[in-house]
Structure 1
Amino acid sequence: MSQTFQFSLSSTAFNSSSLNLKKLKKVKILCSSKHSSFKDDDVNEGGEGLSRVILVERYSNGTAKRYIIGDDSRLRTILIEEDRSTQNRFGVLHSPDKRLSWLPDTVKAFILPAGFPGSVSDDYLQYMLLQFPTNVTGWICHTIVTSSLLKAVGVGSFSGTTAAASAAAIRWVSKDGIGAVGRLFIGGRFGNLFDDDPKQWRMYADFIGSAGSIFDLTTPLYPGYFLPLASLGNLTKAIARGLKDPSSRVIQSHFAISANLGEIAAKEEVWEVVAQLVGLGLGILILDTPGLVKSYTVLSSTWLIVRLLHLWLRYESLSVLQFNTINLKRARTLVKSHVLHSTVPGCMDCNKEENILVWSQFMKPIIIFGSPLDKMDGMERSHFMVEALLKLYANEKYILVVNQQLDDLKFYVSFKVGATSVSVLRSIWQTFWLSENWESKGNVCDQLANSLMELENRFDDFIQKLKDAEWDTQQLNLKVPKEISIDDINTS
C-alpha cells in the first residue's frame, strides 16, 4: 500500500555556538513510501553500493537498530550488538566496574544507581560492600532478641517449652522478612522516581500504608490466618516505607538550604519522636475506654476516622511545600502559562496549582517520552519521512511527532545522544505550543516547523522569566529516558 505525504518545511542552518534557527527559503519535500518486508541479509553492512545508514537507535541493553536506505530506496532496519559502555547523567562514558563484572546486567541495574560508576563517588561501592554484612549481623541479632522477647511475655520459657518460643519467633521474623521484600522491590525497581516528585510518592506511601493496616485490622476476625494476613500487612507497609523514606530524604534536602541536612534530619526525628509519644499515649487512652475494646465495630470505625484525618493532614502538609526546582508537573504549568500569556507563575502559585495525586503521564496534553521511532506513525514505512524529520530537528537533541487521535492528540518524543534536561523542557514547550495552535486539517510538518520557530524565538524569554521568578534553572528534575537514544549520523 502506497502513501504520499507533502511536507512544506523551513530549512534551517545550525551554528554550534548558538541555538537560534536562521530562517532560509521554503523547501517542498514530496514523500512517497511503500510498506515492504525484508531480511537482515538484504542490508549491505559494509557500506558498498548505494546502501547508507541514516540513523542509529541505541538501546540500554547494548543493542542498536540501524535505519538503512538500500539501493532500492527502501527503508530497512537491522538489529546489532554494540559495546556496553555505561554512561552517566552528564553524558560522560565510563567503563564498567571490573569488581562487579561477574554480575548479570539485570542484577547490576537492580542494586546500583543508574550510571554507575560515573554517577556516584569513588567510595560508594566499598562502603556498600561493607554495609551489607553489617546489616546481616544486625538482623541476626534482631532475630535472637525477638525470641527472648516472646519468651518474656509468656510464649515458652527458658526452663519449659523453648521450642514453642523459637517456633513463634521464627513465624514472627518470617512475617518481617516477607514485608522486607516490598522494600527490596521498591528500592530496586523504582529508585529513580523519588527525585522527580517526592510530594506525590510521599502521599502514595500513606495510601499504601493505610491498605496494609487493614490487613492487620482483620487478624482478630480470622485468627487462624494470622501469619498470611500479618505478612500481607507487613509487605504492604514495607512497600509504603520504601516509598516514604527516599521521598522524605528529598524533602529534607529541600529544607537544608544551608548545607545542614544532618541537622534537619535530626530535628525532624525530634518532632517525630514527640508525635510518637503523644500518639501512643492517646492510643492507649482510646484502648482503655470502656466499650471500645469489646466492640470490634466501634474499634475499626475509630481507626477509620483517625486514618482519614491522618491522610487529610498529610495532604495538607505536602501542599504547603514550595519547591523551586522544575519537575514534569511544574514544567507543564510553567510552560502552559508562558505559551498562553508569556508569563510564568512564581514558586508559591505554581506549587499550589500542582496536583499531588495525579501522575504526569495522564495529564493533558499526553506526552510519551523515549518512544522508539518505529512506534511512530509512518516511520517504519517512509525513509523520506525519517530524513525530513532529521533535517527538521537538526538543531534539537530530540525528535517530536504528533499522532492525531479521534478525540485528542498524542505527542511522541525520541531523544538523541547527548540530550539533557533542557532538551526535555524544550520538547514540553513545543508540545504545548502545538497543542494550543493545532489545526487538524493543516499540514503536519508545516505545523512542526512553525512550532520549532516559535520555540527558538520564545524559549530564551521563557528561561529568563523563570530566573526572574527565582526558579532553579540550573538543576532541572527532567530526566532523559536512557532506554532508547538516537544517534543522528546523517543530517546533510
Structure 2
Amino acid sequence: MTAVRVVERTDDGRIREAQYGSSAPSKDVSVPKSQHCGPLHQRAMDFGSKVFLPSGYPHSVSPDYLRYQVFNALQAFCSSLAGLLSSRALLEGFGVGNAEASATHALLLTVLQDFFGRITTICAAYALGPSLGAEAKTFRLLADVANDAAIVLDTLSPLILSRVQIPGARVGALCLSGALRAMCGICAGGSKAALSMHFATPVSGTGDIGDLNAKDSSKETVLALFGMLAGSLIVPHLTTPSSTYTVLFTLVGLHLWLNYHGVRGVVLRTLNRQRLSIAWHHFRDSMDTEVPSPAHVSRRERVLDWNFSALGAGFQAGRCTCDVGSSLVAVFPPGKGSDSIPPPALVNADQEDAYILWFDPSSISQNPTQPTFRAHNHALGFKMHIFLRRGYSTQHVIKAWVHAVEVGRMIALQRRTGSRESLSDPLDLVRVGHKRVGERLERFLELMREKGWETGETGLVVGTPRGVIEEVEVVADEQGLGVEGRKER
C-alpha cells in the first residue's frame, strides 16, 4: 500500500508531520500532538493570542505591530482612568448634586456641547482630511493631545464655576472640550486607518485588515473594562481638588509620554515629504552609495513636525519649503506685468518629467531677461512650487520633490560656505538640480526598493492638486515677451 507523508504549518507557525496509509504513527515536529495537554499558562497564552492578536500572528502583521500595541494598551488604560475623573467633573458641571440645577439646563448644556462638536467635526474633516494618511504619526499623537486637553477642561469645569467670575466661562469651557473631542475623533480615525493598513502589510506574506481591526477593537474593549474597574476603586478616594488634579495631571502626562514613544516606534515604509527628504539627504551624504532603511528613517523622523512642506532634515536645507500641486495661474496671476511671468525657458521646456519647479514670487525678483533672488529673503528662506502637468505619475512627483530638496541643499551649502554670488541666478539652480537628480534618481529608487521602501504610492500630493497644467504655449507679444495659452484643469 502506498504511504503519503504530509508536513503542514498551522496558523500559529507550528510544523506538523503526518503519514497516511502506513502503520507508522503521526508525529508533531515542534510541539506535542495535542495542544490541550500542555501547561495551563501555555494554553492560556494560546487562547489569548487567538482572541486578541490577528490570525497568523506574527507572520500576518508588520514587525513593529506588537511594540505599538503594548504602548497603545498602556496609554488606553491611563486615558480610561483620566476619563472617569473628567466624567465625574462633567456631571458636577451639569448640576448633579446641586439642588438649584434642573434637568432642562443640563440638557441644553449637552446640546450646546454636541453642537460645537459636530461643527468642529465638519471643519476638521475639511481642513485636515487630506493630510491624515500622509502624516499619520503626527495626527495620531495630535488626537491624544486634543483628547487630553478636553479631559483637563472637563475636570476643571467645577473649579471654573466656583472660582472664575466670568459670565459664560463654564459654558465656554464645556463647548471647547466638545470641540477638542471632535478634533480627536477626526485625527484618530483617519490616522488609525493609515496605521492599520501599515500593520496589515507585513514585509513578507499577506495580512487581513478586517481581522486586525476586529482584534484591536477586542483589546480596546477589555482595556476600557479594566480601566473602569480600576477607576471605580480609585476615584471614590479622590475627594479633594488637590488629590484629583495631582492624579489627573500624572495620568495625562503618562498618557502623552506613552503615546509619543508608541507612535515614534512605528516604522512606516511608505514615503511622505519628510521621509523622502531624509532618505535623499542620507543618499547624497553617502556619496550616492546607500540609502537608509525604514527603521533608520523612523529614528530620525520628527513626529511633531507641523511644517509638512519643509525640504530638509535639520539644517541641511535651511528654511526652504515647497508646495506640491500648486496652481500656476494662482501663484502667477496674469495681468500684473512681467514680474508675474515664469521663465519661458521652464514653462515651454519639453517636460518629460510632467512637472515644473520654480520659486514663489515672494522669493525672487523677475525681469524679462534674468530672474534674481530678493536680497532680503536670503536670511528668511525660500519658497518653491511644484506645478504638475497633465499625465503626471507617482514617479514624476517623487522626482519633483527630490529635485526641490536638491535645490534646497545647494542653497544651504552656499549659505554655509558664504558663496553669495551664485545665489543670484535661480534658473541655474533649478537646471543644475534637475541634472543632478536625473543622473541619480534611478539608482536611488532601486536602492530604496531593496531596503523595503514602497515607492509605488506616496503621500507627497496631499489631496487633489490645486491645478494641473493641461497646455502651455509661449507666444511673443508686442514687446516680444509674454506667456499666453495657459490652461488648467
TM category, shorter: 0.5 to 0.7
Q: Following superposition of structure 1 onto structure 2, how do residues 351-366 of structure 1 map, counting pairs within 5 Å? A: 351-359=298-306, 360-362=308-310, 364=312, 365-366=320-321
- Determine the structure 1 residue equivalent to 2:447: 465
1:406 and 2:344 correspond? no
- Determine the structure 1 residue equivalent to 2:236: 288
1:201 counterpart (109, 114, 139): 139
Q: Following superposition of structure 1 onto structure 2, how do residues 210-289 of structure 1 map, counting pairs within 5 Å? A: 210-223=148-161, 226-257=170-201, 258-289=206-237
Give the drift of 1:466: 1.0
Contact in 1 for aligned 2:324/2:465 (Cα 8 Å): no
Contact in 2 for aligned 1:376/1:412 (Cα 8 Å): no
Matched length:
333
Given the superposition, is the C-alpha separation of residues 380 and 326 from structure 1 closer, same or farther in structure 2, using an over 3 Å criterion? farther
Contact in 1 for aligned 2:278/2:297 (Cα 8 Å): yes
Contact in 2 for aligned 1:339/1:429 (Cα 8 Å): no
Provide the secondary structure at the position in 2 that maps to 1:483.
coil
CA distance in structure 1 between the partners assigned to 2:221 and 2:340 by the alignment:
64
- Determine the structure 2 residue equivalent to 1:482: 465
Provide the secondary structure at the position in 1 that maps to 2:457.
coil
Give the drift of 1:173: 3.8
CA distance in structure 1 between the partners assigned to 2:114 and 2:220 by the alignment:
23
Q: Following superposition of structure 1 onto structure 2, how do residues 116-127 of structure 1 map, counting pairs within 5 Å? A: none
Letter in 1 for 2:265: V
- Determine the structure 2 residue equivalent to 1:34: none
Mark the runs of 5 or more structure 2 residues left unpaired by the alignment.
Answer: 1-90, 163-167, 313-319, 364-372, 415-419, 476-489
Higher share of residues assigned helix: 2
Given the superposition, is the C-alpha separation of residues 323 and 154 from structure 1 closer, same or farther in structure 2, using an over 3 Å criterion? closer
- Determine the structure 2 residue equivalent to 1:311: 256
Letter in 2 for 1:366: T
Provide the secondary structure at the position in 2 that maps to 1:191.
helix
Identity across the alignment (%): 21
Provide the secondary structure at the position in 1 that maps to 2:231.
helix
Provide the secondary structure at the position in 2 that maps to 1:418.
coil
Give the drift of 1:177: 3.3
Letter in 2 for 1:325: T
- Post-superposition CA distance 1:51-73 (Å, at most 9, x none): xxxxxxxxxxxxxxxxxxxxxxx
User: TM-score w.r.t. structure 2 length?
Assistant: 0.61
User: TM-score w.r.t. structure 1 length?
Assistant: 0.61
1:188 counterpart (126, 135, 150): 126
- Determine the structure 1 residue equivalent to 2:322: 367
Given the superposition, is the C-alpha separation of residues 198 and 301 from structure 1 closer, same or farther in structure 2, using an over 3 Å criterion? same
CA distance in structure 2 between the partners assigned to 1:259 and 1:223 by the alignment:
51
CA distance in structure 2 between the partners assigned to 1:489 and 1:422 by the alignment:
22
Name the stretch that deviates more: 402-411 or 275-284. Answer: 402-411
- Determine the structure 2 residue equivalent to 1:51: none
Give the drift of 1:478: 1.8
Give the drift of 1:165: 4.2
CA distance in structure 2 between the partners assigned to 1:355 and 1:196 by the alignment:
14
> Considering only aligned residues, what root-mean-square deviation do their CA atoms show, in Å?
3.2
Q: Following superposition of structure 1 onto structure 2, how do residues 385-396 of structure 1 map, counting pairs within 5 Å? A: 386-392=343-349, 394-396=351-353
- Post-superposition CA distance 1:108-127 (Å, at most 9, x none): xxxxxxxxxxxxxxxxxxxx
Give the drift of 1:155: 8.3
Letter in 2 for 1:489: V
1:349 and 2:296 correspond? yes
CA distance in structure 2 between the partners assigned to 1:203 and 1:154 by the alignment:
33
Letter in 2 for 1:297: S
- Determine the structure 2 residue equivalent to 1:104: none
Given the superposition, is the C-alpha separation of residues 246 and 372 from structure 1 closer, same or farther in structure 2, using an over 3 Å criterion? closer
1:425 counterpart (398, 406, 413): 398
Give the drift of 1:282: 2.6
Mark the runs of 5 or more structure 1 residues left unpaired by the alignment.
Answer: 1-149, 157-162
Give the drift of 1:425: 1.4
CA distance in structure 1 between the partners assigned to 2:122 and 2:263 by the alignment:
26
Given the superposition, is the C-alpha separation of residues 172 and 338 from structure 1 closer, same or farther in structure 2, using an over 3 Å criterion? same
Contact in 2 for aligned 1:339/1:432 (Cα 8 Å): no
1:436 and 2:416 correspond? no
Letter in 2 for 1:465: L
Contact in 1 for aligned 2:321/2:383 (Cα 8 Å): yes
**Could you say which structure has the greater relative contact order, defined with CA pairs below 8 angstroms and 6 or more residues apart?**
1
Give the drift of 1:277: 1.9
Contact in 1 for aligned 2:274/2:310 (Cα 8 Å): no
CA distance in structure 2 between the partners assigned to 1:170 and 1:416 by the alignment:
53
